[in-house]
Structures are given as C-alpha cells and as structure tokens.
Structure 1
Amino acid sequence: MTLLVKALSTLALMLAIGGSALAQEYVKGEVIKVDAKQKKLTIKHEPLTNLDMPAMTMVFVVAEGGMLEKVKAGQAIEFTADRVNGRITVTGIK
C-alpha cells in the first residue's frame, strides 16, 4: 500500500511541476519584419523570463504558419515563445 501512495504522490508532483511549466506568460513585443517564405518573425520584445532572455530584437520561427497571417510589420503584439526542437519558437500570439 505504501508503494502505491508513494507512486501517486510522485505522479501528483510531476503533474504540478509540468502544469506550471505549460502556463506561459504573454510578453509584449513589436513585429519588425514578417518573412512568410521562411515562416519567421522578427520581434522587438520585452524580457522572456521562461527562456532567461533580456529584452532585444530577434528572429523567431513560428509554430504554425497561420500565425503569420495575424500580424504585420509595425504591429504591437503579445506572444509566447519556447524552445521547440532546439529552436526558439513563437508558440502563441494574441
């Protein structure tokens, strides 16, 4: 019985840690350039705390090509970014 309790406790802890990692904060930024052919956005952004990055202007790939249709150069956005397959990727835009 104690093995079952330990296993369930471990599972609950893993879910709690994993759930907090999925809850990303949106960061303010400005779209500088949209490269639809390469599926990339250049964004001047505030610090990305989840990636431990200071504010800067950088090029991101986008998780989904449809995101590029939502934005244009000069537009203020709020977005999330994360490492996906080793590349820093925009994962959400609002």
Structure 2
Amino acid sequence: MKKLFLPILLLLSFSAHSVEWTKGEIRRIDIDNKKITIRHQEIKSLDMPEMSMVFQVENAALLQSYSVNERIEFVAEMKDKKYFVKEIRKSN
C-alpha cells in the first residue's frame, strides 16, 4: 500500500500547482485602470467558454510591452470575485 500511496500523492501535488496557459488576442488595453480586454479560448480551470472579456491586472507594468491585436498566452485567476491576468507572454 505504501508503494502506491507515494506516486498518487506526488501526482496530486503536481496537478494542484500546474498552471493553465490560455491563448488569446488583445482587443483593448487600459493601463490607467489596470485592465485588458482579451478574446480568448476556453479557460477550463475557471469553467469559462471562449469569449471576449475584461481582465484586471495587479500591476499596470505587466501591460506596457503589449499592443492591441497582439496574440498572447496568459494565465487567469479569480480573486475576490474578479478575474485577473496573473501572467502573460507573447505567442506566435
């Protein structure tokens, strides 16, 4: 039983910390209000279908190197009943 328990524990630990990157396209950037509108694919971890929506960011500097119509990948999370972009990177 102990031999089976450790691999299961490691698998559960890994899946709890995995990050879901989602592809999207920037539709609008509002640096002053720390918001970005993204047309994105389904976000399974948030049970969210493909759509366009406004996300917030905690730090406006995260948005400074991006522009409208740019293809991106991002990590989203829900915090205090609001949706945030936690990480973002340029996509091909």
TM-score, structure 1 length as denominator?
A: 0.77
1:41-94 deviation digits (Å, cap 9, x = unpaired): 000000000000000000000132221112110100000101122211000001
Distance verdict in 2 for CA 1:18–1:63, change over 3 Å = farther
Identity among equivalent positions (%) equals 37
Distance verdict in 2 for CA 1:18–1:70, change over 3 Å = farther
Aligned match for 1:43, one of 38, 43, 47: 38
Letter in 2 for 1:89: F
Q: Look at both structures and tell me which one has the larger radius of gyration over its CA atoms.
A: 1
2:86 aligns to what? Answer: 91
| Residue aligned with 1:77, SS | strand
Write the mapping of 1:1-94 to structure 2, written as runs, cut at 5 A: 17=12, 19-94=14-89
Distance verdict in 2 for CA 1:42–1:17, change over 3 Å = same
TM-score, structure 2 length as denominator?
A: 0.78
Structure 1: runs of 5+ lacking an equivalent = 1-8
Runs of 4+ in 1 over 6 A off after TM superposition: none
Q: Distance in 2 between matches of 1:91 and 1:36?
A: 15
TM-align CA RMSD: 2.0
Decide which structure has greater helix share: 1
Q: Distance in 2 between matches of 1:19 and 1:88?
A: 24
| Residue aligned with 2:64, SS | helix
